[in-house]
Amino acid sequence: MDLRDTPGEATLRSEIRGWLEANWRDGMDPNEWFTILADSGWAAPLWPEQYGGRGASASEAIIFNQERQKIGADPPPRGIGVPMAGPTIIQHGTEEQKERFLGPMLRGEEIWCQLFSEPGAGSDLAAIQTRAVLNENVWRVTGQKVWTTHAQLARWGILMARHDPSLPKHAGITYFICDMQADGVEIVPLKEMTGEAIFNEVFLSDVEISDDLRVGEVGEGWKVSMTTLANERMALGLGGLGGSDGDAPIDLEEANAESSLDTMGKFIARGPQALVELAKRSGMINDSLVRDELARVYTMYEVNRFTGYRVTSALMKGQGPGVEASTGKLAYNQLVRAVADFLILIAGSGAMGAPDDDDDSARLLRVAERLNLVVPATSIYGGTDQIQRNIISERVLGMPKEPRTDAELPFSEIKKGG
């Protein structure tokens, strides 16, 4: 057990550091940086070389990410393209699809969104009702999708639709790539409980999708979507495992100018020191309850960081992440809830409504208010905490599934509601 670099890792680290220093400049044009990352394969180092990656080992990818953060270089293009849509297309897509989509995805030229959830299909994702009807190599798709991030910016969407309601529900699903600029795609911002509109509703009315944009076989959509969702859980889980942006204090003014979700992400990425600083400045650092809670939240941050070392260590040795990766998303949610609760604790009466004064204590109250309002989202999106617990207990602990009444019935005969 030794958390320091092995000699091999140290060499790799200095090579990567050298590459970053030679290629990154503070304030450089993001598109220029994205192109450099894509051309060098560092936009998705784990992908095979022929698809624009480096075929790198997990150690290389991890060390690259650590060094990138240290030097302050921008991350690869954001969104669901590289982490979720890309691996799905690589695993299940046709060569033409890989040729067409992966390059622009890696260069950040085309943004992707996810058209999975529907008003009637949340935790029970296989209950989607959006219909896809094939007619001479063209599918016509009609339905409603919801909770779509970046839909208004996206060029392409990954889409699950039902091609045959007479089949049992998992068997009747097919997976597509949807052109977000096609006729019949209508995007409506969805105002969330925070008052912001981070997500969208997407209405699909007779949208034409050519059959060569189908991913996987007809009826294999559920299986294909598992690849996407496993990658999503991994990305969400690893986000809480100490991918630290360093421990610089959080600029409250800047934080309040971002979306609530981004502010929340920043509080996790910066680590617990930022919270300690805020507690000191709140004037409540002598309060024994505040001290106990601060230590408790601090412990949660640190334990997640240590678990991150376990995951990293396993990945670096070429092993799959173990139990720790499955519990990552739930651990992340518990941490963000604890952070929001702590900020509300030190807000005191200010929790009734943050004043709009232009001073630090008012800015802290505004951050507390915003985080408290956004935090209920985390235990819902990407699979609710309850679904996560089902996944952990069934897949990790080998506990049997609840008996189901709908698995074998034709989808059209299943009771729907709500």
Candidate ranges 90-98, 155-163, 215-223, 387-395; the one touching other proteins (CB under 8 A): 387-395
Cα separation, 283 vs 286, whole angstroms: 8
Look at the block and give the residue holding tokens 């507390």. 368
Q: What is the DSSP string of 24-66?
A: --TT--HHHHHHHHHHHTTTSTTS-GGGTS----HHHHHHHHH
Which amino acid, 284? Answer: M
What single-letter amino acid sits at 343?
L
- The nearer residue to other proteins, 209 or 274, going by C-beta atoms, is 274
> Of 239, 302, 249, 234, which Cα lies nearest the Cα of 269?
239
Does 191 interact with other proteins (rule: CB under 8 A)? no
Site stretch for other proteins (CB under 8 A), options 161-169, 203-211, 275-283, 342-350: 275-283
- Separation CA 372–CA 343 (nearest Å): 8
- Using CB under 8 A as the binding rule, whether residue 291 contacts other proteins is answered as yes
Q: Distances in Å between the alpha carbon of 294 and those of 250, 349, 377?
A: 17, 19, 23
* Residue 413 is a catalytic residue: no
Cβ atoms 102, 89 nearer than 8 A: yes
* Closer of 314 and 380 to other proteins (Cβ): 314
Token couple for 135 = 């007619």
Q: Rule CB under 8 A: say whether 310 interacts with other proteins.
A: yes
> Is 318 a residue that touches other proteins (CB under 8 A)?
no
Q: Which of 280, 360, 376, 412 binds other proteins (CB under 8 A)?
A: 280
- Round to whole Å and give the CA distance between 151 and 146: 10
Distance CA 60, CA 63 (A): 5
244 binds other proteins (CB under 8 A): no
Token digits for 322? 């173990």
Stretch that binds other proteins, among 131-139, 148-156, 213-221, 288-296 (CB under 8 A): 288-296
- Pick from 11, 299, 353, 357: which binds other proteins (CB under 8 A)? 299
Q: Where are the beta strands (DSSP E) in 185-301?
A: 185-190, 199-210, 214-215
Interacting span for other proteins (CB under 8 A) from 43-51, 230-238, 293-301, 371-379: 293-301
Closest to other proteins by CB, 208 vs 293, is: 293
Residue among 174 and 327 whose Cβ is closer to other proteins: 327
> Using CA atoms, how far apart are residues 404 and 416, in angstroms rounded to an integer?
15
C-alpha span between 1 and 231 (Å, rounded): 29
**Treating both helix axes as pointing N-terminal to C-terminal, what angle do 273-281 and 288-316 enclose, rounded to 10 degrees?**
170
Comparing CB distances to other proteins, the nearer of 4 and 135 is: 4
Using the rule CB under 8 A, is 247 a contact of other proteins? no
Q: Which is nearer to other proteins, 203 or 309 (CB)?
A: 309
Stretch that binds other proteins, among 104-112, 310-318, 360-368, 370-378 (CB under 8 A): 310-318
- DSSP letter assigned to residue 393: I
Which is closer to other proteins, CB of 295 or CB of 407? 295
DSSP 58-125: HHHHHHHHHHHHHHTPPPSP-SSIIIIIHHHHHHHS-HHHHHHHHHHHHTTSS-EEEE--BTTBSSSG
Q: What is the secondary structure of 267-299 as a DSSP string?
A: HHHT-THHHHHHHHHTT-TT-HHHHHHHHHHHH
Out of 232, 253, 258, 277, the active site residue is: 232
174 interacts with other proteins by CB under 8 A: no
The token pair at 164 is 């045959």
Of 404 and 415, CB closest to other proteins: 404
Q: Using CA atoms, how far apart are residues 19 and 318, in angstroms rounded to an integer?
A: 24
| Residue 407 engages other proteins in binding (rule: CB under 8 A) | no
**By CB under 8 A, is residue 3 in contact with other proteins?**
yes
Pick one of 133, 392, 409, 414: the residue that binds other proteins (CB under 8 A).
Answer: 392
Least distance in Å: CB of 375 to other proteins?
Answer: 18
Binding mask 40-69 toward other proteins (x if CB under 8 A, else -) reads: ------------------------------
Q: How many CA atoms lie within 13 A of 24 on its CB side?
A: 21
**Per rule CB under 8 A, is residue 178 in the interface with other proteins?**
no
Q: Which residue has the tokens 């059959």?
A: 211
Total site size for other proteins, rule CB under 8 A: 52
Binding track over 322-351 against other proteins, x by CB under 8 A: -xx--x--xx--x-----------------
Q: Is 362 an interacting residue with respect to other proteins (CB under 8 A)?
A: no
Note the residues at the interface with other proteins (CB under 8 A).
1-6, 9, 276, 279-280, 285-286, 291-292, 294-296, 298-299, 302-304, 306-307, 309-310, 312-314, 316-317, 323-324, 327, 330-331, 334, 386, 388-390, 392-394, 396-403
Catalytic residue ranges: 232
